[in-house]
Amino acid sequence: MAGPLRVERDVEVARWVQEALHDLDGTVASVVPPVFDAYARILHPATLSTPVAGAAPDEWGQLPLEDRELTWAEAATLIGDRLGERQPHTAWLSRFGERGHDLPDGGRMLDGHTLPKGGQIHEPHAGDVPLPLLSPLTELLLDEHGDAEVLAAVWEGSGLDPSGSAAFFFWPDDGLTSAERAQREAEAEAEARVARLASVDPEIRAAMERGDGLGLPRDGQGRDHVLLRGRLSALRDPRWVETAGLGWRQDWPDPGRTPNLLWPAAPHATPAWMVATDLDLDVTLVGGSGHFIGRVLGHPSLEAERVRPGDPLV
């Protein structure tokens, strides 16, 4: 592997994590082992899209939008807590609810929260640690504990799994027949699949094919993770993902993967800290010393709250 992380084939070095985690009981301890002095959860930022001041509408009459990160505290001042129907599937939906409309087929289209002046709030990224959050957290870890060799567990789904469907953009030409349109669509999907496979490091794909995964919190639950090894300092610069082989593509708007779990490799089974999130979570959980968690809670770039191992995830 040419990137900053390499495949760790000996998953037994992480078996202690399985043994320490609670088994999908919906608590913090099912994501971070209850072996640390203190814990915090860091709220993934939402996105605020607002019309560009003074800009003219496009050919479809839509104003161009500009995006910025939005804290949950800012969101509360704009839309209030628990708007709409309460959906306790993620921490964000549990607090703010959702806005959407029903579709004729019985489905539901989520619209985000639309603001009176035309802006819109989009819910936070879920499933792994967002890069804008991982970078300052890495800096804080380096300052508190120094550089270290780390182990990282990355979920095998969401962009890494070659058996999944490949998302792609396709704008059909009105002059095409239905057969020609279907052919062009199939070609676009095939090209997208090839590009997605090329964005995943061959060693990572090989590890998944061999079944060298770490099931979290237990094996056999369809939640296998590839185990990787590298240096904490390599994650300081967010550009590390460009060579990581974790599904990141410069020509694609959706991100690739970042670690779902990250911890120092030594001492074995008694790490000084751990950073973790789950497949559906829009928060990142951190375990460590009381002093370190205090620094997380007070960091100006991190919106964090203190939690305990027995607290519910959402």
More confident residue, 65 or 5: 5
Domain final residue pick, 147, 179, 198: 198
Based on DSSP, count helices (H) and strands (E) in the chain, helices before strands.
7, 15
- Is the pLDDT score of 249 beyond 80? no
Q: Are residues 228 and 85 in the same domain?
A: no
Percent of the chain exceeding pLDDT 70 equals 83
Q: Are residues 149 and 215 in the same domain?
A: yes
pLDDT band, very low/low/confident/very high, at 107 (cuts 50, 70, 90)? low
Q: Are residues 89 and 189 in the same domain?
A: no
Domain final residue pick, 149, 178, 198: 198
Cβ-proximal residues to 237 (8 Å cutoff; 6+ apart), any chain: 135
Q: Are residues 52 and 34 in the same domain?
A: no
Q: Is residue 313 part of a domain?
A: no
Q: Are residues 188 and 230 in the same domain?
A: no
Shortest CA distance to 155 belongs to which of 241, 217, 242? 217
Query: pLDDT (tens digit, 9 = 90+) per residue, 170-218?
Result: 555 667 787 877 777 777 667 666 667 778 999 999 999 899 999 999 9
| Chain center to CA of 25 | 21
- Structural domain total, the chain: 3
- Residue 102: the pLDDT is 66
**What is the residue type of 279?**
L
Q: Is residue 93 part of a domain?
A: yes
Q: Is residue 312 part of a domain?
A: no
- Is the pLDDT score of 86 beyond 60? no
Structural domain that includes position 175: 165-198
Gyration radius of the chain's alpha carbons: 21
Q: Are residues 111 and 252 in the same domain?
A: no
* Window from 31-45, 101-115, 125-139, 280-294 with minimum mean pLDDT: 101-115
Query: pLDDT (tens digit, 9 = 90+) per residue, 130-183?
Result: 999 999 999 999 999 999 999 999 999 876 776 655 554 555 566 778 787 777
Residue 150 backbone phi and psi in degrees, to 5? -125, 155
Tally Cβ neighbours within 10 Å of residue 139. Answer: 15
Cis peptide bond upstream of 217, omega within 30? yes
Q: Are residues 189 and 54 in the same domain?
A: no
Q: Is residue 314 part of a domain?
A: no
DSSP string, 168-221: ------TTS-HHHHHHHHHHHHHHHHHHHHHTB-HHHHHHHHHT-EEESSSTTS
Q: Is residue 247 part of a domain?
A: yes
Q: Are residues 145 and 234 in the same domain?
A: yes
**What is the residue type of 202?**
P
Give pTM, 2 decimals: 0.86
| Chain center to CA of 42 | 12
- Residue 10: the pLDDT is 95
